[in-house]
Structure 1
Amino acid sequence: MHLTGSLVVSLLAATSFALPDKSAVKHVRSNSGYSLKTPPLTTPWTDKVGTDPWPEYPRPQLERSQWQNLNGVWQYENASGLDAVQSPPFGQNFSQEVLIPSCLESGLSGIQAVDALYSWFSNSFNVDSSWKGQQVLLNFGAVDYEATVFVNGKQAGFHRGGYFRFTLDVTPYVNFGQDNELLVFVHDPTDSGDYVIPIGKQTLNPNHIFYTPCSGIWQSVWIESTPATYITQLDLAADMHGQVNVTVHSSNLNTSTPVEISLLENDKVVAAHKGPSNRPFQFKVSSPKLWSPDSPHLYNVTVKMGSDTIQSYTGFRTISKGTVDGVVRPLLNGEFVFMFGTLDQGFWPDGIYTPPTQEAMVFDLQLLKDLGFNSVRKHIKVENERWYQACDQMGLLVIQDMPAMRPLQTEADGATILPNATQQAEFGRQLTILVNQLKSFPSIAVWIIYNEGWGQITNYYPEFGLTALVQSLDPTRLVDSTTGWFDHGAGDFSDNHHYANPQCGSPFYSIDSSPYDDTRIGFQGEFGGLGNNVSIEHLWNVQAAIETINQTYEIDTSIDAWNYRSHVVLGELRDQVQLFACSGGVWTQTTDVEGEVNGLMTYDRRLKRVNEKQWKSDIQALYDAADARRNNATVEASS
Structure 2
Amino acid sequence: MRSIGIQTTYNIYSWFSTSFTVPSNWTGSNVLLNFGAIDYEATVFVNGHNATFHRGGYFAFTVDVTSYLSSGANELLVFVHDPTDEDPYVIPIGKQTLHPSHIFYTPCSGIWQSVWIESAPSTYITELDISASIDGTVNATISTSSSNGSTVSVSIVDRSSDNTVATHSGTAGSPFTFTVSSPKLWSPSAPDLYDVVVTIDGDTVYSYTGFRTISKGVVNGIERPLLNGEFIFLFGTLDQGFWPDGIYVPPNREAMVYDLQTLKNLGFNMVRKHIKVENALFYQACDEMGLMVIQDMPALRPLQSETLSNCTVETILPDDAQQAEFGRQLELLVKQQRPFPSIITWIIYNEGWGQRLDYYPEFGLTDLVRQIDPTRLIDSTTGWYDHGAGDFSDNHHYANPQCGSPFYSIQSSPYDPSRIGFQGEFGGIGYNVSIDHLWNVQEAINTINQTYELDLTIDAWNYRGHRLLGELLDQVKMYACSGGVWTQTTDVEGEVNGLLTYDRRVLRPNVAQWQSDIQALYAAGAARSNASTPALSFL
Q: Shorter-chain TM-score category?
A: over 0.9
Aligned to 1:223: 117
SS in structure 2 at match of 1:130: helix
Matches within 5 A, 1:224-623: 224-252=118-146, 255-265=148-158, 266-413=161-308, 414-623=313-522
Any idea what the Cα deviations from partners look like across 1:28-63, whole Å, max 9, x if unmatched? xxxxxxxxxxxxxxxxxxxxxxxxxx1xxxxxxxxx
CA contact (8 A) 1:325 1:633 kept: no
Amino acid at match of 1:120: W
CA distance in 1, matches of 2:387, 2:29: 52
The alpha carbon displacement at 1:195 in A equals 0.2
The aligned counterpart of 1:45 is none
> Could you tell me how far 1:620 is from its partner in structure 2?
0.3
1:63-100 alpha-carbon deviations (Å, 9 max, x no partner)? xxxxxxxxxxxxxxxxxxxxxxxxxxxxxxxxxxxxxx
| Deviation of 1:412 (Å) | 2.6
* Pairwise CA distance, 1:633: 7.0
3-state SS, counterpart of residue 504 of structure 1: coil
Given that 1:200 and 1:403 are in contact with CA atoms closer than 8 Å, whether structure 2 keeps it comes out as yes
C-alpha RMSD over aligned residues: 1.0
After TM superposition, the structure 1 stretch with the greater mean CA deviation from structure 2, 124-133 or 451-460, is 124-133
Alpha-carbon deviation of 1:568? Answer: 0.2
1:37-52 to 2 correspondences below 5 Å: none
Secondary structure of 2:490 counterpart? coil
What is the TM-score of this pair, normalised by structure 2? 0.97
Once residues 553 and 135 of structure 1 are traced to their aligned partners in structure 2, the CA distance between those partners, rounded to angstroms, is: 54
What is the match of residue 198 of structure 1? 92
Deviation at 1:337, TM superposition (A): 1.2
Amino acid at match of 2:322: Q
Partners in 2 of 1:488 and 1:633 — Cα distance?
34
Question: Paired residue for 2:83?
Answer: 189
Inter-partner Cα distance in structure 2 for 1:371 and 1:407 = 32
Deviations, residues 422-481 of structure 1 (Å, cap 9, x unaligned): 000000000000000010100000000000000000110000000000000000000000
Q: How does 1:147-186 map to 2 (within 5 A)?
A: 147-176=42-71, 178-186=72-80
Q: Deviations over 1:588-620 (max 9, x none)?
A: 000000000000010000001010000000000
SS in 2 for 1:275: strand
SS at match of 1:432: helix
Instruction: State whether residues 509 and 515 of structure 1, in contact with CA within 8 Å, keep that contact through their aligned partners in structure 2.
Output: yes
**1:370-428 Cα shifts (integer Å, max 9, x gaps):** 01000000000000001000000000000000000000211133121100000000000
Aligned to 2:537: none
1:316 alignment partner, SS class: coil
The number of aligned residues is: 527
Distance 1:597 1:611 in 2: 17
Tell me, in whole angstroms, the C-alpha distance in 1 between the residues paired with 2:23 and 2:458. 57
Query: Which residue number in structure 2 is paired with residue 47 of structure 1?
Result: none
Mapping 1:29-178, distance limit 5 Å: 54=1, 102=3, 108-109=4-5, 111-176=6-71, 178=72
Alignment deviations for residues 280-327 of structure 1 (CA, whole Å, 9 cap, x no partner): 000011100000000000001100011110000000000000000000
Q: How far has the Cα of 1:137 moved from its partner?
A: 0.5
1:302-355 deviations in Å (ceiling 9; x for gaps):
000111100000000000000000000000000001110000000000010001
Which residue of the partner structure matches residue 523 of structure 2? 624
How many angstroms apart in 1 are the aligned matches of 2:411 and 2:282? 33
2:536 corresponds in structure 1 to none
**Structure 2 partner of 1:59:** none
- 326-335 vs 622-631, which moves further: 622-631
CA distance 1:633–1:310, shift in 2 (3 Å): farther
- Identify unmatched segments of 5+ residues in structure 1: 1-53, 55-100, 103-107, 635-639
Q: Deviations over 1:124-154 (max 9, x none)?
A: 1110222121111100000000110000111
Distance 1:203 1:633 in 2: 52
Classify the secondary structure of the residue corresponding to 2:138: strand
- In structure 2, give the amino acid aligned to 1:202: Q
Distance 1:191 1:113 in 2: 17
Residue 113 (structure 1) shift: 1.3
Describe the superposition over 1:549-605 as per-residue Cα deviations: whole angstroms up to 9, x where unpaired: 000000000111000000000000000000000000000000000000000010000
TM-score, structure 1 normalization: 0.82
Q: Secondary structure at the match of 1:341?
A: strand
In the alignment, is the contact (CA less than 8 A) between 1:324 and 1:633 conserved in 2? no
Alignment partners' CA distance in 2, 1:225 and 1:320: 40
- Which 10-residue stretch deviates more, 418-427 or 124-133? 124-133
Matches of 1:251 and 1:433, distance apart in 2: 19
1:208 to 88, 91, 102: 102
Contact 1:408 1:418 in 2 (8 A): no
SS at match of 2:307: coil
State how far apart, in whole Å, the 1-side matches of 2:372 and 2:307 are: 40
| SS of residue paired to 1:209 | coil
Letter in 1 for 2:46: V
Q: In the alignment, residue 127 of structure 2 is paired with which amino acid?
A: Q
Task: Provide the residue aligned with 1:31 in structure 2.
Answer: none
Q: Which runs of 4+ in 1 moved over 3 A?
A: none
CA distance in 2, matches of 1:511, 1:360: 38
Structure 2 residue runs without a partner (length 5+): 534-539
Report the Cα distance in structure 2 between the residues aligned to 1:632 and 1:502, rounded to whole angstroms.
25
